[in-house]
């Protein structure tokens, strides 16, 4: 079963088990994970689902697309050139990794 582990800035952790493949942002919204806003609904147009992917999961991710790259330049919290991704663009399960852990930034807007 695919899983996403969300690490909050205060140290709290929430593990979500997915019944089917889903994106980091959508799973967070469905499960009331604090710190993920998703204002644009997953269209890579707002950067309010910015996350820092933990190092051990980076190699399993697809390349960053042009739209995601552009939005990562305007995140509310500082971008990490290696670890920053938009949660709406990363699928877990299906074509993505079976599990992933992400750190949620201090602020999204």
CA atoms within 13 A on the CB side of 93: 14
List of E strands, the chain: 3-7, 13-17, 22-23, 50-53, 84-86, 91-92, 99-103
Q: What is the pLDDT of residues 13-23, one digit of tens each?
A: 999 999 999 99
Q: What is the pLDDT of residues 81-101, one digit of tens each?
A: 999 999 999 999 999 999 999
Q: pLDDT band for position 109 (50/70/90)? A: confident
Q: What is the pLDDT of residues 31-88, one digit of tens each?
A: 999 999 999 999 999 999 999 999 999 999 999 999 999 999 999 999 999 999 999 9
């Amino acid at each position: 079963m695919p899983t996403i582990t969300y690490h909050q800035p205060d140290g709290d952790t929430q593990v979500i088990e997915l019944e089917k493949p889903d994106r980091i942002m959508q799973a967070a919204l469905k499960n009331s994970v604090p710190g993920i806003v998703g204002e644009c609904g997953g269209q890579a147009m707002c950067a309010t689902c910015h996350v820092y992917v933990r190092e051990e999961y980076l190699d399993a991710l697809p390349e960053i697309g042009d739209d995601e790259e552009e939005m990562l330049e305007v995140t509310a919290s500082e971008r990490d050139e290696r670890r920053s991704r938009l949660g709406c663009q990363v699928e877990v399960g299906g074509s993505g990794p079976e599990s992933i852990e992400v750190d949620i930034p201090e602020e999204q807007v």
